[in-house]
Amino acid sequence: MQVRLILCSHSPLMLKEMPETLPGSQAAFMRTMQDVAEDLGEFEPELVVTFGPDHFNGFFYDLMPSFCVGVHAQGTRDWGMEGGALRVPSELAIDCCRHLHRNSFDVAISHDMKVDHGTTISLAQIAGTLDHYSVLPIFVNCAADPRPSIRRAREFGAEVGRFIAKSGLRVVVMGSGGLSHDPPTPRLASAPNELARRLIQRAVPTTEELRAREARVMKAATALVDGGGPCMPPDGEWDAEFLSKVTKWDLEALDRISDEELDQRAGFGGHEVRTWVAASAAARELARAGELTVQQRYYEIIPEWLTGMGVVTGQAS
């Protein structure tokens, strides 16, 4: 089966004009993503399956699923993104949920999924617009403790891949998130009452709330560049270890990655590597009749984006 895999970091700070710490690093990442987009255009996928996180823009603690499949989905307008509807093949999405339920995955389903920059930045980079390709959006809880384990994310992604394999479509699987980064995202356990309420109650953030949130992240990035807190710096050693594990598909090593390891070394945002693992597992199931050739296309720590930025692609025909 013809399949392409895209694993990529995102940072909303790339949508702002942040002075470069390492000259040329931002442009090199953007060029890599443009190359990926051009490869995708030549491939002409009939379906893009996205595994993405959320940053309390679409999913909240009032009801936080480990995994959710979107039957209808809208991109949010956080960080100045245009937002708008994704072109979701709704019957396929529902059939995917039925398949998952029959195979021991009690996945949630949304007829009004809100997809934030955790998916839309990367999707816009590879597709140009959110509705250019048919997209099956899948949410993976990476921000709200307790989260599904890395192992469970892998098993879930593989089952999605087994379902999609029956379609016979030309498919791109994308995992967007990571690598190591520690943004100033509030934690429910330590948040003051008013902030905790915003994490729990399902509500669209006001323009003022979005601006305040964005200003806080930009301030944290500036502080990190200057050698200060509150965020942990990206960990290049951990990123290299993870990139090796995911490209070699070392299942035992991947499954051993714990929340404690991620918190201590990869930072709060490092939990998003669940999307890479799920997407990789799905693509490998799709390529089961052939070999998935995987290549690391980019890696660099970009402090002003708060993130260890990586791009990995794979293909099988």
Name the residues annotated as catalytic. 117, 181
Look up tokens 């940072």; give the residue.
11
CA–CA dist 76, 8 (Å, integer) = 20
Q: Count of CB atoms within 10 A of residue 19's CB?
A: 8
Conformational region of residue 20, where left means phi above 0, alpha means psi within -120 to 50, and beta covers everything else:
beta
CB-based contacts of 100, cutoff 8 Å, min separation 6 = 69, 106, 107, 156, 159, 160, 163
Q: What H or E segment, with its residue span, contains residue 255?
A: helix 251-255
CA–CA dist 147, 142 (Å, integer) = 6
- Residue 139: phi and psi, rounded to 5, are -90, 135
Question: What 3-state DSSP class applies to 3?
Answer: strand
- Cβ–Cβ < 8 Å for 100, 159: yes
**Nearest Cα residue to 306 out of 92, 14, 55:** 14
- Cβ–Cβ < 8 Å for 280, 175: yes
Question: What 3-state DSSP class applies to 308?
Answer: strand
150: its two tokens? 């890395």
Look up tokens 């995987």; give the residue.
294
